[in-house]
Amino acid sequence: MYSREVAALLLPRQCIGWDEGDGGAGSRNMYGCVWTTEVSCATEGSTQSECVRSVCLVLLGHSIGIGAGTPLIMTFVPAQVYKQMARSLPTLVFVIFIIMLPESARWAVGRGCIHEATVILKKSHHMSFDPTMKHKLSALHQEHKLSLAQYKCSGHVLRCAASARQLFDPTPYNSFEDRQVAFGAVEFISLLLLGLAATRLHVKWALVSLMSALSVTLLLTPVLKQAAVSTCGGFVFFSCLGHAAVILASVWMSVGVIRLTPTHSRGFVLGSTFSMATLGHALAYLDIMSIFASYGLYLDEYAELSIWAIATFLAGLLTLLLPRTPSSLPDTLSHIVERPPPQEKFENDEEYENTQL
């Protein structure tokens, strides 16, 4: 294990500079121990080059967890948006279900024509609604219809469904359940984009590009806030941006670990990477402004975001220490695309048939 002096170089100030009389000293002590343990596990049993590679991946996982999501959420998401728990989650589930239907069936369901939608699905996709699902869809449509009638809202079914959220929350798309649905959609899109780019980029440069884009995004957030983007879906947008960054970076790192790290240390590095990314969210109480204030330096909100942006960019530069590697994903399509070599034919087909018999 590392000594306290070495840990002071690796851990945030809040993790090691605890006060013995503080009630939260135990939790900060635990975070510090976990930090040191994860770093030591990642470097155990590795050669010098593998040690550098493993530490870079672990530190990058932590920097993404705390450096990408925390500033965005703390800046643009008020604390009260997390107080609502699953108030309209069933409604949102069926709204997402309606979005996933084909256009013709969605048009019918959105207007309450459940029977017509069943006929359309049966003809086009050989599917049919369960009787329970029919009842729920009918109840959902009636609920939206009565709700939107108060606001005289009509038009496209998706716009009507979105406007119906006004009834459940005076600030729509800020509740916990809305954010979970949005996180799922962003995660799916992020993984889809990752799959399209995985075979064309190298792990090292993909990580550098991702962290550089995050640092630029952090610098742009004050501009977007001044432009009054933080209304309605703006809160969810910035939160999903941080969530997508964590998902993309986690997948990139897992692919990089599997392809780059030797078998004897792969489990340690993979576990450490995801552990540090998870602890990054747990260590969201690191207050940079208070730390600078203790030294007599007072920073505003924009200066704090700039510090986070610089730290995120430097964390991305750490991946340049990784050795040069091939593409992140192996070629799994060559045996399908390439044609097998032609087989030699016997001059006499009858002799070949007799040989087979």
**Residue 9: per-residue pLDDT:** 29
Whether residues 101 and 240 share a domain: the answer is no
What is the overall mean pLDDT for the chain?
55
Name the pLDDT band for 212 (thresholds 50, 70, 90). confident
Tell whether the model's pLDDT for residue 264 goes beyond 60.
no
Whether residues 61 and 197 share a domain: the answer is yes
- Is the residue at 49 inside a domain? no
- Is the residue at 163 inside a domain? yes
pTM above 0.85, yes or no: no
- Is the residue at 309 inside a domain? yes
Whether residues 131 and 269 share a domain: the answer is no
- Is the residue at 346 inside a domain? no
Domain of residue 59, CATH code: 1.20.1250
SS3 of 76-93: HCCHHHHCCCCCCHHHHH
| Cβ atoms of residues 204 and 60 within 8 Å | no
In angstroms, rounded to a whole number, what is the distance separating the alpha carbons of residues 148 and 38? Answer: 53
SS3 47: coil
* pLDDT digit string, tens, across residues 68-84: 555 555 566 554 443 33
Structure tokens at 181: 């649905």
Whether residues 242 and 295 share a domain: the answer is yes
Closest C-alpha among 173, 159, 172, 111 to residue 137: 111
Whether residues 149 and 249 share a domain: the answer is no
Whether residues 252 and 287 share a domain: the answer is yes
**Four-point Cα dihedral 212, 239, 182, 241, nearest 10:** -10
Whether residues 194 and 132 share a domain: the answer is no
Q: By residue range, what is the domain housing residue 197? A: 54-82+174-321
- Is the residue at 225 inside a domain? yes
* pLDDT digit string, tens, across residues 281-290: 554 445 666 7
Whether residues 141 and 263 share a domain: the answer is no
